[in-house]
Amino acid sequence: MNESEEPAPGVAALQRRLADFAAARDWQPFHTPKNLAAALSVEASELLEIFQWLTPGESGRVMEDPGTAVRVRDEVADVLAYLLQLCTVLGVDPLAALTEKIERNEERFPPPSRGSHSME
Amino acid sequence: MNESEEPAPGVAALQRRLADFAAARDWQPFHTPKNLAAALSVEASELLEIFQWLTPGESGRVMEDPGTAVRVRDEVADVLAYLLQLCTVLGVDPLAALTEKIERNEERFPPPSRGSHSME
Amino acid sequence: MNESEEPAPGVAALQRRLADFAAARDWQPFHTPKNLAAALSVEASELLEIFQWLTPGESGRVMEDPGTAVRVRDEVADVLAYLLQLCTVLGVDPLAALTEKIERNEERFPPPSRGSHSME
Amino acid sequence: MNESEEPAPGVAALQRRLADFAAARDWQPFHTPKNLAAALSVEASELLEIFQWLTPGESGRVMEDPGTAVRVRDEVADVLAYLLQLCTVLGVDPLAALTEKIERNEERFPPPSRGSHSME
């Protein structure tokens, strides 16, 4: 899906670009952590709205419709934008936070053992 | 905040790691776009829950409390995890989608001109 | 499902009881419309969380499991509590608002006509 | 706010009217508990969206603007509509569920004692 390891720009560059965008429009007073968390939640619901009446099968084919595909990409961008802006104002590194979470989950939810030579 | 341009691992590496994690546990049948969009929305609300009764000022100081800081990082990781998994199953590149969105918004919301001697 | 037309207490009585409950605990300063709207959204997501990984068929049988039924009733109560408290602080009559909405929707979405020999 | 104890129609009458509305349009197949819970959550977020950038004080004055007041009433109606439809398909009595919840909370969160001889 993503052929190259990391398309430019990366997450940190996008965070700076979003911060510059907000600063140029004097939007920082609105960007409290509380407001950004509310906006993130609202955008995540707008993404869910696309899927709310679809069957599981239909939900797997949303990108086949060009108009819906545009809408999905637009809402994904909005969710990521508010998540990154929230991380910036809180001083949270989102990629490091997720890496740590995956490592904790690998311990919490060990995969079922596979194969005939299992000791279990 | 993020000193290096792109800490390893990048977004694409995290997407692969999340996909491997789900595959090792046979969770793919649950990971329809609809279910992942619902889970993303639920996790975004869990992040909002941390802030819901705080004043704007209090919301700016949440990371000063170690227990709350852990909770914030954990919910940020959950939101990002479901967003990336949704992007994987839909074939959406989240960083490209956000880059395009910022470019559209730079045209839609031109910054106010600053000062009468501006060259613009 | 609801055999009697209106079990006591009604909506207005519950609104007063919730207001008294909050006043007795000095919670009114927290109950701004913004905070109550955030709390309502968070509780609606907690209700959605119960269903997020279920198939459509499984979601129709949630009340057969006693533990899940308790959880569903509890989250329904939370959503209704915050909706009613929000209506109280905003001065909105929720039943009147819904009645008007249904009337508007009956005009917006006329039902399909049924059969050429209909008497209507 | 609500002068009369219970304006007609009551909750049960609205539940029947919503069920008839959906049946007349053959919408029942879409109204699984899972889909209704998702729609409820989406509408609660649309209500939150009205408040997301407002200060606490501004959020207390939203009904002074006629256009915003219409939008608030409309979103309140949508949240209540999906909550009632969800309760209908699940067989949950929303007023009874809330009454029980308030009774549990009165035990869980006893109000601070307000004795007449308190020095505080």
Q: What pLDDT was estimated at residue C61?
A: 98
Angle at A100 between CA A97 and CA A104, to 5 degrees: 135
Higher pLDDT: A29 or B2? It is A29
Average pLDDT score over chain B: 90
pLDDT tens track for A63-81: 999 999 999 999 999 999 9
**Is residue B113 scored above 80 in pLDDT?**
no
**Is residue A120 scored above 50 in pLDDT?**
no
Confidence of residue C112 (pLDDT cuts 50, 70, 90): confident
**Is residue D115 scored above 80 in pLDDT?**
no
Q: What pLDDT was estimated at residue B118?
A: 41
Confidence of residue D113 (pLDDT cuts 50, 70, 90): confident
Q: Percent of chain D, pLDDT > 90? A: 84
Q: B41, C30: Cβ pair inside 8 Å?
A: no
Q: What pLDDT was estimated at residue B8?
A: 56
Q: How far apart are CA A100 and CA A102, in angstroms?
A: 5
Coil, strand or helix: which one is B75?
helix
Q: What pLDDT was estimated at residue D112?
A: 84
Q: D42, A52: Cβ pair inside 8 Å?
A: yes
**Is residue B11 scored above 70 in pLDDT?**
yes
Angle at C104 between CA D61 and CA D59, to 5 degrees: 10
Q: What pLDDT was estimated at residue C113?
A: 73
Confidence of residue B112 (pLDDT cuts 50, 70, 90): confident
Chain D residues with CB under 8 Å of C68 CB are: none
- Looking at the complex, does the CB of residue C68 fall below 8 Å from at least one CB of chain D? no
Q: A48, D42: Cβ pair inside 8 Å?
A: yes
What the block records as the tokens of D71 is 């939008």
CATH class of the domain comprising D11-108: mainly alpha
pLDDT tens track for B43-99: 999 999 999 999 999 999 999 999 999 999 999 999 999 999 999 999 999 999 999
**Is residue B6 scored above 50 in pLDDT?**
no
Contact criterion met (CB below 8 Å) for D59 and D51: yes
Q: What pLDDT was estimated at residue D114?
A: 60
Contact criterion met (CB below 8 Å) for B47 and A42: no
> What is the least distance, in Å, from the CA of A103 to any CA of chain B?
10
Chain D residues with CB under 8 Å of B55 CB are: 56
ipTM summary value = 0.89
Mean pLDDT of C97-117: 85
Chain B residues with CB under 8 Å of D55 CB are: 56
What the block records as the tokens of D28 is 């029942």
Confidence of residue D8 (pLDDT cuts 50, 70, 90): low
Single pTM value for the model: 0.90
Q: What pLDDT was estimated at residue A3?
A: 45
Query: Which of B60, B79, B16, D34 minimizes the C-alpha distance to A79?
Result: B79
Q: What is the largest CA-CA distance in chain C?
A: 63
What the block records as the tokens of A46 is 């707008």
- Looking at the complex, does the CB of residue C37 fall below 8 Å from at least one CB of chain B? no
What the block records as the tokens of D112 is 């601070």
Mean pLDDT of D67-81: 98
Q: What pLDDT was estimated at residue C116?
A: 45
DSSP string for residues in D1-48? ---SSSPSS-HHHHHHHHHHHHHHTT-GGG--HHHHHHHHHHHHHHHH
Q: How far apart are CA B26 and CA B41, in angstroms?
A: 23
**Is residue A33 scored above 70 in pLDDT?**
yes
Average pLDDT score over chain C: 90
Mean pLDDT of D54-70: 97
Mean pLDDT of A35-40: 98
